[in-house]
Structure 1
Amino acid sequence: MDLQPILKNDLVRIRPLSPKDFKKLYQAASDDLIWEQHPDRDRGTLSGFVSFFSESLKSKGALLIEDQKTGITIGSSRYKILLDYNGAVEIGWTFLSRKYWGGTYNASIKELMVHHAFKFVSQVILFVDSDNLRSQKAIEKLDFIRKDQLIINRGSGQAKNDMVYSINRVQ
């Protein structure tokens, strides 16, 4: 599967993240309210964002999201192959500038990403921290089904509950 495709519609353009995108993406991410319900609340700070951006580039699945009309960077997302889930694909690490919350942008982005993934796999999975009610509500507006709850060790020594959502390709 191509983990860094170029996808677009009338609202957004999604493309591979590159090192030259640091400044633009940091500008979109440097809002503490974006991260207030996220388990890694430091991502809005320069040091936290440096770590996030570096991990994103290393993942080889990170994507930059731009407003199609203005060309402004509005967020990012990522694909990851999940070998423990029979090769399903995870869509995660997604964030959007607050200006783009609550409308059609998140659904539009997920639709593009899910449609692309379904060319290669039959299941897409999202993991959302149990404390991140905003993201859970956003996902539940889409066709994802809440499947499970897992304890995830995020490497900080702190295990967190993650809600597992999935959507299956219709055969």
Structure 2
Amino acid sequence: MDGFFSEIKVSDGVLEMRPLTIEDREGLYQAASDPATWAQHPAKGRYQREAFWPYFDFLLHAGDVLVAVEAESGRIIGCSRFYAVPDQPGDVAIGFTFLDRAYWGGSWNRRMKALMVGHVLETRPRVWLHIAPDNLRSQIASTRLGAVHQYDAELDLGTGLAPYKCYTITADSWAAAMAERAGA
């Protein structure tokens, strides 16, 4: 990536997104320590410390990773990452996202994505999401954000070649999804 996303700090007053640091290691692990968080993910054991530490190191060195912090408590509740799309040069994706299970089912994922998607769409025509074929929870959540399935592909997103469902969100699909949510 061009470093454009590496130092952003964004907030909506309820959720803050800021760059990941080494000091976030334990807080992010606590957010990731529920087995249900990884049940639909290929790395199902990532809730265990010995499986999570290499993942944390990967995120820390990959760059462009933002931790999600509940503004009121200061508690880390998850993270997400900007990365280059391997088969769409110049495009940006958001992924490697997870939330503490206590924050599922509400507005937290939508808040995270709103802050990140909005940032990308300021300078790019679309943002990509790559979702594991078995991760139905993320596929459903993404379509509620205006994501449209484009194709399936085998991609290496930094952890080896794997199958993904490839979605895009454009300014128009994002606005339509937000208007629909506001009217619901």
For structure 2, the residue ranges without an aligned partner over 5 or more in a row are 173-184
Q: How has the CA–CA distance of structure 1 residues 67 and 156 changed in structure 2, closer, same or farther, with 3 Å as cutoff?
A: closer
Q: Deviations over 1:92-113 (max 9, x none)?
A: 0000011111111111110110
User: Which residue number in structure 2 is paired with residue 162 of structure 1?
Assistant: 164
Paired residues for 1:31-110 under 5 Å: 31-82=34-85, 84-110=87-113
Residue identity in the other structure for 1:88: D
Residue identity in the other structure for 1:168: T
* Counterpart secondary structure, 1:43: coil
User: Which residue number in structure 2 is paired with residue 143 of structure 1?
Assistant: 146
User: Which residue number in structure 2 is paired with residue 27 of structure 1?
Assistant: 30
Structure having the higher strand fraction is 1
- Given that 2:147 and 2:169 are in contact with CA atoms closer than 8 Å, whether structure 1 keeps it comes out as yes
C-alpha displacement of 1:160? 4.0
User: Which residue number in structure 2 is paired with residue 132 of structure 1?
Assistant: 135
- Given that 2:86 and 2:155 are in contact with CA atoms closer than 8 Å, whether structure 1 keeps it comes out as no
Give the whole-Å Cα distance in 2 for the aligned partners of 1:155 and 1:42.
Answer: 18
Give the whole-Å Cα distance in 2 for the aligned partners of 1:114 and 1:72.
Answer: 22
* Counterpart secondary structure, 2:45: helix
When normalised by structure 2's length, the TM-score is 0.85
- Given that 2:13 and 2:71 are in contact with CA atoms closer than 8 Å, whether structure 1 keeps it comes out as yes
Residue identity in the other structure for 1:95: F
User: Which residue number in structure 2 is paired with residue 11 of structure 1?
Assistant: 14
* Counterpart secondary structure, 1:136: helix
Give the whole-Å Cα distance in 2 for the aligned partners of 1:132 and 1:4.
Answer: 29
Q: How has the CA–CA distance of structure 1 residues 15 and 154 changed in structure 2, closer, same or farther, with 3 Å as cutoff?
A: closer
Residue identity in the other structure for 2:144: K
* Counterpart secondary structure, 1:44: coil
| Count of residues in correspondence between the two structures | 169
1:117 to 101, 116, 120: 120
For structure 1, the residue ranges without an aligned partner over 5 or more in a row are none
C-alpha displacement of 1:155? 8.2
* Counterpart secondary structure, 1:86: coil
Q: How has the CA–CA distance of structure 1 residues 83 and 130 changed in structure 2, closer, same or farther, with 3 Å as cutoff?
A: closer
- Given that 2:22 and 2:60 are in contact with CA atoms closer than 8 Å, whether structure 1 keeps it comes out as yes
- Given that 2:65 and 2:82 are in contact with CA atoms closer than 8 Å, whether structure 1 keeps it comes out as yes
- Given that 2:11 and 2:17 are in contact with CA atoms closer than 8 Å, whether structure 1 keeps it comes out as yes
User: Which residue number in structure 1 is paired with residue 177 of structure 2?
Assistant: none
C-alpha displacement of 1:161? 2.7
- Given that 2:38 and 2:44 are in contact with CA atoms closer than 8 Å, whether structure 1 keeps it comes out as yes
